[in-house]
Structure 1
Amino acid sequence: MMNVLLVDDEPLVLEGLRTMVHWGKFGFQVCGEALSGAEALNLIHRLRPELVVTDIHMPALNGLELVEQSKRTMERPPKFVILSGYDDFGYALSAMKQKVAEYVLKPIDEEEFEAILQRVGASIQAESAAQRTENRMHSLFLNNLLNRLIQGEADEGLEQQAARALHVKTDAELRCLLVETDIGSADLRERLQLLFPGAVDRSFQDNAGRVGVIVPTEECSADRLEEIGLALYRDLTGSLIRPVIISFSDPLSGVRSIRSLYLQALEVSKSKRCQGKEGLFFYGCCRKTPEQRADHDEKIKRLAESVCAGLSEAVEGQVHDLVASFASGFSDIEWAKTRIADLELTLCRRISEMNGTPGPLMARIREQHGSLGDIKDYPALKAYVGCLCAEAGALLLLLAKQNENNTIFHVIQYVDREFHAKLQLQDLSRQFHMNATYLGQLFKKTTGKTFNEYVNEKRIEEAKKLLKRTQAKISDVALKVGYPNTDYFISKFKSYTGMLPSVYKGQWENRQADQ
């Protein structure tokens, strides 16, 4: 049904309009009545009627002024039917200039008025259908723009397009509200739109089906945004939709920050889902700093070093500390498992470097604890890591005894530790008291690679890790892995990986955003 607001300063006229006209016959229902133009303007903003039937002569704010102010202050004002007791062409001309739907003289002829309602109702419905089509097209267009920004596409033209579609300035301060639940995305976007009345649709759906909204802070304060989130949570949980996780980003400036806004909200959502929680959550209340993330990496590194050094007493405490930091912090267990996968890879490589075979070791661990990918909780992850470290430590200790007198093994160990320094085969041959040519031949026979190939591969693998996990500049990464010349590093990186370091870093960041 379409809503109609009745406005006249005479109560008897209002009563007659309400009771004598068959509103429902033409798809209308009376949603309110007002005795003055000022009261009517407030009701128009609050009730959002599709049609207003108003007298032209009222004190303070007359009917034509009501039309003018409504159109000036509202993006989508209602249609107006003007009632007048005066057959004055000047009034009719003013009404025409305001583009009112109809101008009717009192006393009202019932048949004439019903014909007006039929015409106006058909016009409102046609415009509503056209508006729905336009809204769907806008929604698809905006969804495409926002997902391109979320995926890391950075382009000034794209940002300007997004700003126009969002109806914000390119440097506007924004936040992101993200909803994760089982409800269909179309229904969820409609519910969200109802909570932002009068605002342009700024919602989107990510590639995992989550629904988000980009919110300008100048239009919606943090308190108001929290109220909207609570209203949505009550609506969804009241409909027996569970679980519901609603996450909020911090405010950031500029359309180019949309990717960061989304990633903040996504990080909150994934963490709370992993912990089995639901409700409203803010990024600022529980975010991980870069220092805290670096702390996890440092714990992994120290644990691997302790396992390789055979420090079994230290390993047990380090395993407990590492998994506890994952569980009590802000880490999604899927992210924690990727860090443990890195530990696995480090230990397996170490076993291979010491002429061991890691395959049987990993098979035994999986037989006892299942695969790492299937682990669902932190106690199971702790048992898995503890077994991995104990088994790997025992095997490495055995291999170390077997390799004590193997000179080439010690050379390779030295290269593995010092690859970031300036290494020359001639220097190594003197250090280990071997002929340089013979050392080079033995090195290739043992590793399957020439000395230079082996060193370059070690450096490139380390560079890939730094590009994934840090925000260091390309030149800094080059220096850390043993290439004082950045251009030479870029050339070597491309020859080994097929892409430039900057492209590799960008691809990894995009992959992280998709998870």
Structure 2
Amino acid sequence: MYKLLIVDDEPLVQVGLKSMLNWNTLHIEICGIAGNGQEALDLIARLKPHIVIADIRMPVMSGLDLVRKCREQTGELPVFIMLTSYEEFEYAREALRYHVAEYLVKLELTPESLESAVKAAQIRVDTAIKKQDSSALFSKTEPTPAFDLQTLQDRFYIRLLNNLFENEEEFSRQSEELQICLNSPCYAAAHLELLSTDTSDTNAAQQLTLYNSTLQMFHKIMGKFFPCQIISLDLRYWAVIFSLDNTNDKETISFLRNAFRETAQMLHNYYNVTILAAVGRLLKQPENLSSSYRDAKQLSTQLTPKNPLLFFDELPKHQTLRNVFDMTLFREPLRKAFDEFDEDALHGVFLSIFDLFESSSPPYTQVMDAASNILHLTLTLLSDGADIATKIFSAEPDGYRSLYRQTSVNQIISYMEKLDSGLCHIFQEQKKDYKNHIVTNVKRYISAHIGEHLTLQNVADAFSISPNYLSQLFKKYNDTGFNEYCTQMKVEKAKQLLRNENQKVYEVSEALGFESAFYFSKVFKKATGMAPKDYQNHIL
């Protein structure tokens, strides 16, 4: 797959480019969207796209400045397709001077002209990759560590909202390891539902496009008011984490209400969709966001198209809601089930939930919440969760979304029994491949962070698994243990750096995260039989 980055300061242009072509048929994955050149430059360094479609005139950094910096820093890749609202020779000449693949005028842009430009860019990508060493960062055959990091960050937020961290220390370690900064004065979580006026004539691919485009535009518009993190749950629901500057509840709620209304109105005008949003309590500690999210889900059952926005902090003090099923009762077995593909732990969770249903006779809303919680964990915590859920419910015309058609407690329980059986069967089938996949991704992570001080604990934190479990997996699916593998990789990287006669031993030591040049020399000599300086003299 080729990776594509879209760069434009107009949200409507961003959405239009995303929906103009069927990118999958072109073997293209849209890996990110940026609103200006500087933001794009940061994403290019992190995501390593093969192709960039960029506007020429943008705030902060223009498209031409972006191309210029990329040519200086990364060479021939990524390949650029430039867009402009102005058909001026000077722009075209400047763009072509930096060897862009195509120069397109927005007002004349058609699916045909865009597809032609993209295919031309793909040819240039293939040519550039052939020139590069097989280990180049822009390899299109191997997932990049940056992309893996984004996936791990998404899973972090899912765990946070569902209170799946064992303690505050684990939360802090993982947020630091995954480069997630949560230092705002105030936070809130929201639960949102997308209502489309008519989906009877739309197929699954069209529904997916509508959902993704809506989320993308929501993020861009709402992001102008507040920094926010979007967590996709399924093709109907999503969650949002807001980072807020004002700790005054009334002022913040008023600002949020105006932002929601403006955003929802633009989405309705553009896509003819309605957004229902419930916002949980405002709080200062991000590790407690699961409480705010729980509030939002409690409120969400009261939302209607005529009353599409509710705030938990505006509820009368005496009013209590009991619409949410408390999944924290099963935190440990759920962690074990989804982290380790443990079918026994997962089946135990289902059996315990069914026992609770039988003994307490919960209302329909709580039963539905329990089922949707496990479905959303399946879709988001498993790398191919959507495919797995689709396979389990392949007999249903609307697939796993058939959950929302169930109108009674017994129907929901039957749905959950099918989900339980299907997941356990797939866990049993794929456990070995999944574990091997973890080790492969850990190796990629080590390679991407080779200049850091790597420990079993911090790498395990990055993958949300226990250190003991990672150690066991490494020994089983690798020729060496974790620490030995890290040492081997650092020594191999040190050899590469020492081939440069200008590199000093202490500089190599610092570059690879060793605590001192003395310790680095000791490790290097033990692995190679000679000191770093002797090795450098020997090969030069």
Point out the structure with max Rg over C-alpha. Answer: 1
Higher relative contact order (CA 8 A, sep 6+): 2
Same fold by TM (over 0.5)?
A: no
Structure 1 length as normaliser, TM-score? Answer: 0.32
Structure 2 length as normaliser, TM-score? Answer: 0.31
